[in-house]
Amino acid sequence: MFRAIREQIDTIFREDPAAKSVIEILFCYPGFHAILLHRLAHKLYKAGFTTLARIISQVSRSLTGIEIHPGAQIGRRFFIDHGMGVVIGETTIIGDDCLLYQGVTLGGTGKEKGKRHPTLGNNVIIGSGAKVLGNITIGDHVRIGAGSVVLKPVPDHSTVVGVPGRVVRSRLDNEEVLEHAKLPDPEGQAIEQLAQRVEQLEDIVRELSERLAQSPRNSGGGSSA
């Protein structure tokens, strides 16, 4: 338990430049509290004390604003930054070294039975307000932009943005930072391409109109009878 706490504190220092001291983390980081309470609730859930585990998860939800079902499997060095509004479903599986920002949902898509929540690989970062829904697999080193809605599996080393989420970049490195200011905008790119195409068509129409106006038939210079 103490080793897990120490590892969690080290993770927060590594991921959050705002963390100044161990005391600050112990008292002021709801993600830290939610993860530790989930570790306890998950052990009880696996041991068959499901009601007690749910009670602990609900207490954690009230205290932190983060809802993690005790059945969810979470790997090591997991960090929830800020955390308010995060929801993690029962059959979710999260790998090691993953990072979630506030408002993220790892949820289902309906009332299906069995495995119905996402599986996250290692080193996954999910931006604020993103929704990952259904029994899908998110590969290792995936970055999901803020506000995205992901409904399909995502391969390793990819960046996903948009509604619905689309792969906009296949990453070949292990860069840890999710820089939203540098993410591609697929909708904006599509609109820009359409605007360019319209401009090209206008140029073609203008050129054809000028040729038609200059043709002998329309010049008015024909011979009289």
50 alpha carbon, distance to own chain's centre = 29
Quote the pTM value: 0.77
Instruction: Compute CA 30 distance to the chain's CA centroid, rounded to the nearest angstrom.
Output: 20
Average pLDDT over residues 148-153: 94
pLDDT, tens only, 9-24: 999 998 888 899 999 9
Residue 222 has pLDDT above 70, yes or no: no
First to last CA, the chain: 108
Pairing of strands 79-80, 99-100: parallel
Residues 6 or more apart from 59 whose CB is under 8 A from it? 37
